[in-house]
Amino acid sequence: MKLDIDLNRETGVPLTEQIVSGVQEWIRSRTAHPGAKLPSIRQFAADNDISRFPVIEAYDRLVSLGYLDSRPGSGFYVAERHRAMSAQGASDPRRAEDESVHIMQQFNHPGEALKLGSGFIPEAWRDMDSLAQAIRHVSRTDGASMIDYATPLGNATLREHLQTRVAQLGIEAQASQILITIGASQAMDLVMRYMLKPGDTIFVEDPGYYNFNGLLKLHGVKLVGIPRTRTGPDLDALHVQLQQHRPKLFFVNTVFHNPTGTTIAPPVAFRLLALAREHGFKILEDDIYADFQADATDRLATLDQLEHVIYIGGLSKTLSSSLRIGYVIADHATIKDLADIKMLTSIGGSRFAEAVTVALLERGMYRKHLERLRRRMRDALGATAQALEMSGWEVFETPLGGKFVWARVPHVEDAQRLVECGAPLGVTVAPGSYFRPNAEPSPWIRINAAFANEPRARKFFEAAAQLAP
């Protein structure tokens, strides 16, 4: 058989990406039945007059994403399990395929599509020289860190630095109440393992952090979405849901919320804590974007002092994604139990990464980097919001910091159309459905302002605004 996929060498989108998208669309259109055989790699390349290499890479990626099965000596076939997963719908405890595709897109090699919806800071915005200096320093002075595990709680000096940093936010915690984790993602996973079991209910923000939502579904936890407004969680909606559910936990992103870029207002924070005390649930406060904020505002953990709040932060978003430094702060009993779970699930963290982070903090490199990064992101956010509005877009709220702008084209009801608009221009975006608890359709998309000044981004803004109603 021959696949009717239109490959265009003039768009700037890599052929591998076009093949992956084309096969996915073919399968989703239901013209392909489970078990249908695809053309061989050689035949596909010949049919489309291209090299075999992008076909090999595309087929391999489609196998990894669950769209195809590879049968050695026979060929490639539409996966049976893909159709089963589609039939189960977005509430399936496994990650929805579209979310997986979005995550994979973030890790594609640079120089391909413009990842306008990415969660990362561009490499050019990182302080590579300081990172290299810190790595050389640790390699010379602490050779054991290159081969040994970190201690269960993590580097003592690093925890003392973090204690000082959160004290500036008004959070009174001892260093022994801080557990270093392999990124904030591990901190979330540890808390989930500690507090939740299959069938339990957790409240999450809608929209909110898609990776955490996927993790919860994987473990069979029931998600209830609470709408995120410009000032924080919708308290009226929260009150209604509390009459119907008894959540163990409410996951809240306080400052520069992902994806809307908003920050919880003080009156909302106070009322949210009052509801937590009244109804007996804990709040998991995600403050991963704290270091993007120049003038600190009160956190939930500041107002509550860790009585009903477990606080999560990290340095990966600003310092280095590769170092994977996160942390969780809670009462002593909770930290002890979380450390035990950490030992059981990962033995320990990276002593080397923790030592390099200490060097960056102690030598003032991180502080200088943050000052530059904040200015750069603030300028980019303002310019992005202005460009969107001039093109006819609606911006949810102009962020005061962080990385993201949450925006929509007023007459476009489903952001999937914006995804399709960006593809021929070599632009990938993150549609709002990725950030909703059960992948419900949304007109909004997340835009990373660090990438929004490129010509392809501006062409995309203009083209999307011209889409027919």
Domains and CATH numbers, the chain: 15-88 (1.10.10.10), 114-125+368-465 (3.90.1150.10), 128-363 (3.40.640.10)
20: left (phi over 0), alpha (psi -120 to 50) or beta: alpha
Phi, psi of 103 (to 5 degrees): -65, -45
d(CA 392, CA 465): 6
pLDDT beyond 60 at 108 = no
pLDDT value at position 62?
85
**Cα–Cα distance list, 99 to 68, 82, 182, 231 (Å):** 17, 14, 22, 27
354-377: pLDDT as tens digits: 999 999 999 899 999 999 999 999
Stated pTM of the model: 0.77
Question: How far is Cα 335 from Cα 321, in angstroms, rounded to an integer?
Answer: 24
CA distance 415 to 402: 22
User: Tokens 């949304």 correspond to what residue?
Assistant: 442
Report the pLDDT value the prediction gives residue 90, as an integer from 0 to 100. Answer: 38
Confidence class of residue 88 from pLDDT cuts 50, 70 and 90? very low
Give the whole-angstrom CA distance, residue 223 versus residue 263. 22
Confidence band for 15, pLDDT divided at 50, 70 and 90: confident
Q: Which long-range contacts (CB under 8 A, 24 or more apart) does 131-134 make?
A: 131/320, 131/356, 131/360, 133/363, 133/365, 134/356, 134/357, 134/359, 134/360, 134/363, 134/365
Tell me the residue ranges of DSSP E strands in 101-231: 114-115, 178-182, 201-206, 222-229
pLDDT digits (tens, 9 = 90+) for 32-49: 788 889 999 999 999 988
Q: What is the pLDDT of residues 205-243, one digit of tens each?
A: 999 998 888 888 888 899 999 999 999 999 999 999 999
What sign for the dihedral angle of Cα 426, 453, 439, 288?
A: positive
| Ramachandran angles phi, psi of 325, nearest 5° | -110, 115
Dihedral angle computed from the Cα positions of residues 23, 16, 110 and 349, in that order, rounded to the nearest 10 degrees: 60
The token pair that represents 62 in the structure block: 């489609």
Q: Is the pLDDT of residue 260 over 60?
A: yes
Is residue 409 helix, strand or coil?
coil
* Mean of the per-residue pLDDT values of the chain: 89
CB 195 within 8 A of CB 249: yes
pLDDT value at 383 more than 90: yes
The yes-or-no verdict on residue 93 having pLDDT over 50 is no
Radius of gyration of the chain (CA): 23
Does residue 87 surpass a pLDDT of 50?
A: no
Binned at pLDDT 50, 70 and 90, residue 16 comes out as confident
